[in-house]
Amino acid sequence: MSAISAGTEKTVGSQKTEKPEGAKKSLVIETNEVSFAYDGKKDVLKKISMQIFAQEVTAFIGPSGCGKSTLLRNFNRMNDLIPTAKITNGHISILGSDIFDPMVDVIELRKKVGMVFQKYNPFPKSIYENVAYGLRIAGENRKSVIDQAVEESLQLSGLWEEVKDRLDASGMGLSGGQQQRLCIARTIAVRPEIILMDEPCSALDPISTAKVEDLITQLKEKFTIVIVTHNMQQATRVSDRTAFFYLGSLIEMDDTTKLFTNPTQKETEDYISGRFG
């Protein structure tokens, strides 16, 4: 595995985050000099190159407006919702395929790349129907299959014991933390390979946050997780690798412990020591 040279040209080669030889982690997401503009002209992401590996939690950190959520929303092409937005340079390949290839069906991509949003957004349906939603739209009608998937997903998300007696109750009647875990259950019900999390805890209280963080740690055995967070402690708690973004550039990406204890870039050091951002 080659070195990951991240970010702006001046930083190229200045840090090497080598995966130890013999590491079995396989490459899941790779971006190659990706630039992106919401209006098609002004780049808000600048030549981002990074690699994300399977069964790891990768955290994106950086001050507001640095482009971390934007990049995340490119991984499942959520930015397609904005008509003028487009990739102005480079490629993103996920599981070996270029996701901006004209042949790509975003529906198929999104089935493999799930997303959990900042503001928990269960549908105003029952808990059961929330989890079953992805299966139903994929055309699954067999009750036994859906029943099983709902139970499995709720168990994986740690919600099963709390809600198993009231699956017919509205998903919106749950507490905030439970709602967010319901959204995670809804996402994993369609069996994605990758789960993107866009600040999943920013609307939650500390106890709910701790539960979701535990969940993330458990889920990484089955899924590849990319999480955007404003909370640096959270990044250190849950992630294996961390990428630091600043002004649309990837400044540094490394093992989380290394990045937080021994950053190679001055901007990273300034940010994690709280001097800006």
Partner 1 sequence: MHDVATDTAIKNAFATVSFKQKRKDAAVRWTMRIATYFILACAFFVFIDIISKGAPVILDRGLDFFTKNPETLMVFETADGTEHQLGYSDFVVWKDNNPDQEIVEQHGYTYCGGGILGPVVGTAFLTIICIVVALFIGLTSAIYLNEYSGKGKFMDMIRLAILNLAGVPSIVFGLFGLGLFCLAAPVITNEIKEGAWHIPLLSGYAISFQGWGTSMIAGGFTLAVMILPVIITACEESLKAIPMGFREASLALGATKWQTIRKAVLPYAFPGMLTASILGITRVAGETAPIMFTAAMASKATLPWQGLEGNVFERFFGFLSQSVQALPYHIYTVAARIPQSEYTKPMQYGSVFVFMVIVMAFAAMSIFMRIHYRKKLKW
Interface residues with partner 1 (CB under 8 A) are 76, 78, 81, 83, 107-108, 110-111, 114-115, 117, 119, 121-124, 133-134, 136-138, 172, 183, 186-187, 190
Nearest CA-CA partner of 153 in 133, 125, 170, 139:
133
Give the residue with the Cβ less far from partner 1, 54 or 172.
172
Q: Give backbone dihedrals phi and psi of 55, rounded to 5 degrees, phi first.
A: 55, 35
> How many other CB atoms sit within 10 Å of the CB of residue 37?
18
Amino acid at 120: Y
Give the residue with the Cβ less far from partner 1, 67 or 134.
134
Structure tokens at 71: 């990049």
* Cβ at position 84, least distance to partner 1 in Å: 9
* Cβ at position 81, least distance to partner 1 in Å: 7
List beta partners, residue 35: 89
* Cβ at position 138, least distance to partner 1 in Å: 6
Give the residue with the Cβ less far from partner 1, 89 or 175.
175
**Are 70 and 226 in contact, with CB atoms under 8 Å apart?**
no
Give the residue with the Cβ less far from partner 1, 110 or 211.
110
List beta partners, residue 113: 194
Give the residue with the Cβ less far from partner 1, 129 or 252.
129
Strands 86-94 and 113-116: unpaired
Give the residue with the Cβ less far from partner 1, 6 or 212.
212
Nearest CA-CA partner of 100 in 51, 165, 54, 31:
31
Nearest CA-CA partner of 241 in 54, 111, 1, 13:
54
**Are 244 and 50 in contact, with CB atoms under 8 Å apart?**
no
| Alpha carbons 172 and 270: distance in angstroms, whole number | 41
Give the residue with the Cβ less far from partner 1, 187 or 242.
187
* Cβ at position 102, least distance to partner 1 in Å: 18
**Are 94 and 220 in contact, with CB atoms under 8 Å apart?**
no
* Cβ at position 276, least distance to partner 1 in Å: 31
Across the chain, the runs of DSSP E, i.e. the strands, are 27-37, 43-53, 57-61, 86-94, 97-98, 113-116, 194-198, 224-228, 241-246, 249-255
